[in-house]
Chain A
Amino acid sequence: MNALLGIIHRDLLLVMRRKSEVLTALFFFVIVTSLFPLGIGADGALLRKIAPGVIWVAALLSTLLGLQRIFSADYADGTLEQMVLSPQSFVLLVAGKIVAHWLVCGLPLVVLAPIIGIQFDMDAGSLKVLILALLLGTPVLSLIGSIGAALTLGVRGGSVLMSLIVLPLYIPVLIFGAGAVYANTVGLDISGHFSLLGALLILALAFVPWVSAVAVKIAIE
């Protein structure tokens, strides 16, 4: 447990030392969502309708931007090898790195989303659902993304390749996340969407750190 907290603390410290990378991903989120009204027009009813989808897709893409950073620097300077060799369980260390990624790239999206939502003229109820759905969904994005990041470690054109690998796997989260908000606006029951998002999160939590650890070891060999 100490190792887990230790690695989270270390990764967060590294991010704080160079804030620009993280802020870039957040600005990307804000800019992409602001582009949609410019492209589609300022029709309030239409914007309200597409808001959940736009915010979720932008969240998917901006999570993708930060993924490479989970392992790449540690891979380049050999820290990752030392982690594999250390007596601590490597799966736990990988889990810690994923948590750190979510705290840096996922959680700020949850905080920013309502502001974007207001720009799209969403009502208070929808905003609440959006925040909750993002809170359940973004950890899954970080978890699944870590597999792609580990598989493409040190590969030519790694970041583009990673998006090709990871985005298809993000589809269920997108469907249920955006679906929950949409269902709420048309007055349908949203508990099913949240149960499924929760199920995805539990499934990903149980298996992904382990798979990512295997993938990192393959890259290091």
Chain B
Amino acid sequence: MSQKNTLSNKRFMNWFRLSSPMTFYPVAGKLIPFFWVLAFLFGVAGLWVSFFVAPIDAVQGQGYRIIFIHVPTSWMSMFIYLVMAGWAGLGLVFNTRLSSMMAQALAPIGAWMAFMSLWTGAFWGKPMWGAWWVWDARLTSELILLFLYLGFIALQASIDNPRRADKAGAVLVLVGVVNVPIIYFSVKWWNTLHQGASISMTKAPAMAQTMLWGMLLMALALWMYSIAVALMRVQAIILERESHADWVRQLGEVKS
């Protein structure tokens, strides 16, 4: 019995050990190249499928191929917001510094994804709908998501005390997470034209299998890219915030 306890304790300790910036820093350093390689492989495969394998769309011609970057960036922008809220919540509840740093590191990536989704959407909309921008539900909620990201980044940047910035940012992100569905449905209510969601969980996707593969591969590539960049940003944030600590001064990259 007691042996079992120490065992599970050990396993816990292993996980919690990583929540200290000092132990996490070198681990992140080892993981970064791994995720870059994955991002590169998935990216090459995804681009190959989306440019050479996927068939030409009957209605939209070649122009539809922007979907392979547009849809994955939209997915990632929403997913990263949820992950960010998860980390921020963890940081608020358990008072772990690293969780808040993760949230801070993810915010600019998510904002970029939201921006890219809007930008590519505009390029897609011009030839297909004849307009760069229409006030429809999904475009508008994506825009509002970008505003939420910017609000979080601005709030964190303007509070000098990092601990307070972390907690204030966490409260804002959590309020945002509660609001995202409300905003989405309110905008949808008010909504106008847009093609329906092209992928749904309940019915078979209304597109060629290869197109779906292209989108999934691109989404995976962006996912790996996001993780790699997030880890790099976390490393930078750790160095910045822990610059007073001894172990940082001992690091090779800091000394030189």
Residues in A lying within 8 Å of B, measured CB to CB: 147, 151-152, 155-157, 161, 164-165, 167-169, 171-172, 175-176, 179, 196, 200, 207, 211, 214-215, 218-219, 221
Which B residue sits closest to A160, measured CB to CB? B154
Which B residue sits closest to A154, measured CB to CB? B159
A211-B171, A218-B171 known; A175 and B186 CB under 8 Å?
A: yes
| Pairs across A and B, CB under 8 Å, 28 listed | A147-B171, A147-B172, A151-B155, A151-B172, A155-B158, A155-B159, A156-B158, A161-B158, A164-B147, A164-B150, A165-B172, A167-B147, A168-B147, A168-B148, A171-B144, A171-B183, A172-B182, A172-B183, A172-B186, A175-B187, A196-B186, A207-B178, A214-B171, A215-B168, A215-B171, A218-B168, A219-B164, A221-B164
Residues of B contacting A165 in the complex (Cβ-Cβ under 8 angstroms): 151, 154-155, 172
Residues of A contacting B178 in the complex (Cβ-Cβ under 8 angstroms): 207
Q: Indicate if B247 sits at the interface (CB-CB under 8 A).
A: no
Q: Indicate if B52 sits at the interface (CB-CB under 8 A).
A: no
Whether A211 pairs with B144 at a CB distance below 8 angstroms is: no
Q: Indicate if B179 sits at the interface (CB-CB under 8 A).
A: yes
Provide the bound-state CA to CA distance between A200 and B168, in Å: 23
Provide the bound-state CA to CA distance between A21 and B9, in Å: 59
Provide the bound-state CA to CA distance between A24 and B47, in Å: 57
Indicate with 1 or 0, residue by residue over B176-199, a CB within 8 angstroms of chain A CB atoms. 101100110011011000000000
Checking B154, B171, B175, B190 against A161 with a beta-carbon cut-off of 8 angstroms, the contacting residue is B154
Whether B144 pairs with A147 at a CB distance below 8 angstroms is: no
Which A residue sits closest to B178, measured CB to CB? A207
A179-B190, A200-B182, A211-B175 known; A164 and B168 CB under 8 Å?
A: no
Which A residue sits closest to B140, measured CB to CB? A171
Question: Shortest distance in angstroms between A140's beta carbon and chain B's nearest beta carbon?
Answer: 11
* Interface SS of chain A: helix
Question: Shortest distance in angstroms between A181's beta carbon and chain B's nearest beta carbon?
Answer: 13
Residues of A contacting B189 in the complex (Cβ-Cβ under 8 angstroms): 175-176, 179
Provide the bound-state CA to CA distance between A172 and B182, in Å: 7
Which A residue sits closest to B169, measured CB to CB? A151
Whether A161 pairs with B155 at a CB distance below 8 angstroms is: yes
Provide the bound-state CA to CA distance between A164 and B187, in Å: 19
Residues of B contacting A207 in the complex (Cβ-Cβ under 8 angstroms): 178
Residues of B contacting A156 in the complex (Cβ-Cβ under 8 angstroms): 158
Q: Indicate if B167 sits at the interface (CB-CB under 8 A).
A: yes
Provide the bound-state CA to CA distance between A218 and B171, in Å: 9
Question: Shortest distance in angstroms between A97's beta carbon and chain B's nearest beta carbon?
Answer: 17
Residues of B contacting A151 in the complex (Cβ-Cβ under 8 angstroms): 155, 168, 171-172
Residues of B contacting A215 in the complex (Cβ-Cβ under 8 angstroms): 168, 171
Provide the bound-state CA to CA distance between A161 and B175, in Å: 16
CB contact list, B140-172 vs A, under 8 A: 144, 147-148, 150-151, 154-155, 158-159, 163-164, 167-168, 171-172
Provide the bound-state CA to CA distance between A121 and B256, in Å: 73
Question: Shortest distance in angstroms between A149's beta carbon and chain B's nearest beta carbon?
Answer: 12
A168-B151, A168-B183, A215-B168 known; A157 and B175 CB under 8 Å?
A: no
Residues of B contacting A147 in the complex (Cβ-Cβ under 8 angstroms): 171-172, 175
